[in-house]
Amino acid sequence: MRNLDLETVEQTRDRGLAITVFDGLRRGSASTSDFAAKALEETVAAAWHIAKHTAEDSAAGLAEPDQFALDYPDLQLYHPWQLSAEHAQRLALRAEHAALEYSALIANSEGASVDSSEGHFVLGNSRGFLGGYPYSRHSISVSPIAGAGEAMQRDYWYSASRNASRLAAPETIGAYAAKRTLARLSARRIKTGNYPVLFEAPLAVGLLGSLVQATSGGSLYRKSSFLLDSLGKKVLADHLSVLEDPYVIAAMGSAPFDSEGVRTQPRTVVDNGTLQGYFLSTYTARKLGMSTTGNAGGSHNLKLISRQTRPEDDFEAMLRKLGTGLLVTELIGQGVNYVTGDYSRGAFGYWVENGEIQHAVEEITIAGNLSQMFRDIVAIGADSLNRGSKSTGSILIEKMAIAGG
């Protein structure tokens, strides 16, 4: 929906099959969306053709038989939603209407959307593994626009879950999106300097993602990470730990096995600042002379925690801890060099003095080095938020360089 009118209705159904074959230490892959017998034969032939003409790779091959998840729990990842186009339209309309009615200053909208998807993942190999599970994902989002002319601002909010009954009410999503948008009006720049920085929880999960990227097998064996050879070393502040739990019921990042069929397992990735494990697939583990961690395809329900966080450390309490500095609510561009750890991003946020938001801030750049930023995290909020396979509260960093006006 956009401006209370129906704009797009889309429904898709697709399927795909991918096959990887091995000729000794040579590997070839091919895929198809056509399940006819002839198409499947041609796909297998194509994979073999590729394998015959590729170079040998000593790390190629399936996982070891004792690493497969031959028995695994039902993690309740599938919650179908009997959602008609008409019902979806009404939900989107309620969300956008709530945003537009929140204030007369909400002048326009980039739209509201309702999405529902479900599928089934099946994996089998010649070492005896055959497993699969159904899954679902549902969401409601809205993005209002406030102001007029050159003083226009936009923001958004959404709710997502595997189970539609756990989605926030459309009116709640719309009103909160409008509130966030209005707060951005009359934004201005600030003076260049070094200030404490508080990353709002939705952005803070991105810092956790940067840790994953830097400690993933692909980056490590290619020597393209600033955290090379960091196992057993301090990578975060002493009060921080990172936990991984693939077995959280109905969570977005849950999985009984990874994309190679290797069983997943709960573990402590970072313990009181010290890195305990990487994120490895079978291939990347062999390249490093190690064993897979069951992370082919990514991480599973990572949570950043601090032993110093108290239940009362909500968002307002984190602003008080920030004192005078910058609250960041949006990042622009890439600007992360994982080889060196250098971090430079365009940003939008709010200037805070004595724990109180003073005004919105735009056209600034925040910069630092991830290695130092990770060690300079002084607090994690109790305002924990989940985004995909990662969750954390707001993150307060002692100091970063901010380029303003």
Q: Are residues 326 and 374 in the same domain?
A: yes
Q: Output DSSP code: residue 110.
A: E
76 bridge partner residues: none
Q: Return the pLDDT at 404.
A: 84
Long-range contact list for 227-234, CB < 8 A, 24+ apart? 227/275, 227/341, 227/371, 230/275, 231/275, 231/276, 231/277, 231/278, 232/274, 232/275, 232/276, 233/274, 233/275, 234/273, 234/274, 234/275, 234/375
Q: Output DSSP code: residue 85.
A: H
Helices (H), 11-163: 37-52, 85-102
Q: Are residues 124 and 168 in the same domain?
A: yes
Q: Are residues 163 and 196 in the same domain?
A: no
Of 360, 361, 372, 371, the C-alpha closest to 399 is 372
- Strand, coil or helix: 34: coil
Number of structural domains (the chain) is 3
Q: Are residues 288 and 376 in the same domain?
A: yes
CA distance 129 to 70: 7
Q: Are residues 150 and 219 in the same domain?
A: no
CA distance 405 to 376: 25
Q: Return the pLDDT at 100.
A: 96
Q: Are residues 224 and 309 in the same domain?
A: yes
pLDDT means over runs of 10, the chain (405 residues): 95 96 95 97 98 95 94 95 96 97 94 97 95 97 90 93 97 97 90 96 95 97 96 97 97 96 97 98 97 96 96 96 96 92 95 95 95 97 93 97 87
- Strand, coil or helix: 228: coil
Q: Are residues 196 and 158 in the same domain?
A: no
Q: Which of 158, 183, 208 is the last residue of a domain?
A: 183
Q: Return the pLDDT at 330.
A: 94
Measured CA distances, 248 to 38, 68, 91, 244 (Å): 41, 20, 28, 10
CATH number where 107 lies: 3.30.2290.10
Q: Are residues 196 and 161 in the same domain?
A: no
**Residue 11 structural domain:** 1-61
Q: Return the pLDDT at 149.
A: 78
Q: Return the pLDDT at 29.
A: 97
